[in-house]
Structure 1
Amino acid sequence: MVAIAVTVLHEPVDPEALGPWVDVMRADGARNAGFVDCVASLRGDGDLQQAVAVSFATETQLHSWLDGESRRTVMSDGETRGIRRASSDLVLVDGQATPPGVAAFRHPVAPERDAQFLAAQTELVRISARFPGYEGTVVLPVDDRGERLSVIRFRTARQLSGWMESAQRQGALPTLRSTLERDFSTFTQTTPFGTTVRVEDGQTRLTPGWKSAMLVLLVLYPTVMLLSRFVGPLFEGLGAGPWLTIWLSQVLSVSLLQWVLMPFAVRAMRRWLDPVDGAGLGVTVRGVAIVVAGYVTTLAVFALVTWLQYWDYS
């Protein structure tokens, strides 16, 4: 999972001032845990917006840097160079929904097709500008996945949806696709219980239900066993009847799965759960093997470690 802060800049931007300032921001970010990269957006022939994108390994690390004093100093330094923000920072986190009115697309650009790709993006900008609520498009350089990222902003989610479904956009997509090695895709969004949602050219793809079920079982079984061993007796010792003890244990179990355990498991099995990246036979088999190994391990632990066998304790 990668978290990206996109800072759209007020036009015009002096390119001679921008480069050194991006270097300052990159150096500042690199002093913080989880820093991945800092890049300036691509300009094409000028219709694309100028922006700076800083990425961190996690959202928490990104926000820690964004809220830090050193970053405020960097932004003040930019203002002295004539570089100012055009809007508030846009935060994108792979695995989470984009902000309302914002769409982010990954583009695996074919070798030696960069110029054609930027020209296609520029044409999309000219088409998009005719739609109500359009606020701009940013295209970022190749990331660690070897893909370019384009970010388009509309004032509202409804206006974005209207553009996404428009005949004008559909008519411009073949030219864009001709510059790619494979079709573009959106940022993924993963639910707390292991279903990854991915949209490609308007078609929604979901993690197969059996994968989500396998992962939930892997996390749920040891959770229930440990709660039954350690928390259930605590509730009973406080005077709770079995009917209340089970209910309280279930509340705790669901809470742990929702906000702690499943998010961790989803991050660890992210590629396997992805309906596109994890669709291949090799990835699928390896993921199944890992989950089954987890089943065997937890079953062996609770079968052999008598201290964990709650039924022997009252």
Structure 2
Amino acid sequence: MEWGPNQEFGSRGATVLISLTVREGREDDYQRWQQRVDQAASGFTGFEAAEQYPPTSGEQNAWSVVFRFSTIDQLRAWLNSTERQELLAEGEGLFEGPTTQEVLAGEPPTRDVVTAVVSHDVRPGREREFRHWQNKVRKVQEKSPGFMGLELFEPVPGVQEKWVAVFRYDSREHLEEWLDSEARAKLLEEGRDYFAAYDVRKIRSAFGSWFRFDGEGEEGIPPNWKQAMTVLLALYPTVMVLNLTVGHQLDAAGLPGYLSLFIGNMLSVSVLTWLLMPLVNRLFAFWLVPGPVRVVVTNLAGTAAIVACYLLFLVIFAWVTA
């Protein structure tokens, strides 16, 4: 197995995405090996983080690993290091088929529920046409359900020769709908004039933050007041329901107040992170990060909808606790 490097720009950070298929029955051995790789990488200058994404349904034993370094030169030093090459040689028997990787230079793209990474082998001399074609793809893709952003990364001389497009959707269903759409099929047929081959990899993060929307710089981040309103929308019913159910049980068990509060907070954070906030973000994505058209109307409509939800919850819990 050979993991050669692949992409960059400037010194604003660099991320490498490695995709691999673990041999059936060797998952535990791979996990132990990957821990050694992560530990070795953490000892290199510029190391910032390492993340591992296990297989999702329909992608048996297909793992993804992401390493983040402060600069492309520091990432290159890790990729070409003797320590890494020795570890790759040791782990060669753990994997099926070739392993691929893309290097994304500059600030990393934000991640939401599902991220697709598409690498393209652009035909020599057709780079300008390829970029125009990608802009056309973006305009069509923006109209697809659940789309949350796209970023295009150019090749990095000496590191990666491929162009990489990274785009996000609010659910796996919406991503698959786009990948299988007739509109995308037509665009791919048109793009054959500009690239010789392409490869698609999908990543799902189980530990994404509550707010991760793609955009150009800070424009893709919801303003604080919107984040506060949506958190309150999910937090209030969560706390009320837990107080009316688990809270009574904890009080009846005679647990001290500090312990009951800790358990309640733990349950609240878990419900928010893995259940309610992803749902609220999906329902109000049109309002959290509105498009360039009718922004005022969208903001007013979204704000009114959330206030209406507040009032509805107040009425419900006033009736329940009466």
TM range (shorter): 0.3 to 0.5
Q: State the TM-score, normalized to the length of structure 2.
A: 0.43
Larger relative contact order (C-alpha < 8 A, sep ≥ 6)? 2
Q: State the TM-score, normalized to the length of structure 1.
A: 0.43
